[in-house]
Amino acid sequence: MPAVDDILISRRRAERFAQLLDEANGARRHHVRARVDGQLAPLVAVGQRISTDPPTVEVDQDFRTGLRAMLLATAEREGLGTTPAASEPAATKRPATTTRGRLLPAVTARRARARGAILVGIAAGAIAVSGISAASENAVPGDALYGMKRSTERAQLALASSDISRGQLFLDFARTRLGEAAELRGDRIGYSAVLDDMDADTRQGVRLLTTAAAQRAEPGSLDTLNAFVTGQRRAVSGLLDGSTRVDRERTQRSLRLLDSIRERSDSLRAAIACGLPAPTASDTLGPDPSTCPGAR
């Protein structure tokens, strides 16, 4: 848990941020400066720009629904817009006071404004980022928005609800890297690097899906894996046409990886079918099963 001092410092920063936003929007200025003002100034400037010139991006309905749910959950967690229940013991409903026992309604109001400012910042920032993310979909390594594209992928992984979902996302990312590789053919260093990333995403996804299949003794995840290998191998083979010798050798390494994945998937399927226990040995492709008795 964070230290009490850290919590107080974070709260003071949030309250000061809300105060600076109020002042920037025409509220009465306080003739007091805080040490964090210099750090908060860029954020206040961003807040003003978002307020006066909101980003002109199209936000789909699914994003709006998800954002609304996130904001409502945050508001509920922070207690915004609620009042203490009537049955709550009086001892737990202490208002903010000074050491002399006087009420401090201004402090309470500032904290409410700070929380509100944070929620507004989350909403505005999420909407702005969604537009940038959409614009970065076609970015390739070396483009200005490529970092945003990869950050969006990491955010998708963080929000995934299960290992199977994360495994499928990694395979989707491997398909994306394949599209980037097609754009970088002829760039020996860039082409090889993006195929390295593609193979890394592939291994991550394969390991998650094969592990899920072995632990559950269900081949459903292997069906997803086999469909990926079939389509991906066809597309990767297309990169060989007209490629240089160096690019061709690098592409063939990715093809050999896909062949190894198909072999692992088939051996796992056979192990599940003959009732073998979940494998204890594993490697970069996940569980490495034993051979079924009587199998060649």
Question: Residue 211's closest CA among 279, 158, 260?
Answer: 279
Taking the whole predicted model, whether its pTM rises above 0.75 is answered as no
Rg, Å, the chain Cα set: 27
Residue ranges per structural domain of the chain:
4-80+107-135, 146-287
Q: For residue 153, what are the contacts with CB-CB under 8 A and spacing of at least 6? A: 169, 173, 176
How far apart CA 255 and CA 174 sit, in angstroms, is 13
Quick: pLDDT tens for 50-100: 666 555 555 556 666 666 666 666 666 655 555 555 444 544 445 555 544
**Across the chain, where does the E strand assignment appear?**
282-283, 286-287
Name the token pair of 135: 């614009």
Position 129 pLDDT exceeds 70: no
Quick: pLDDT tens for 242-286: 889 999 999 999 999 999 999 999 999 999 998 888 888 889 999
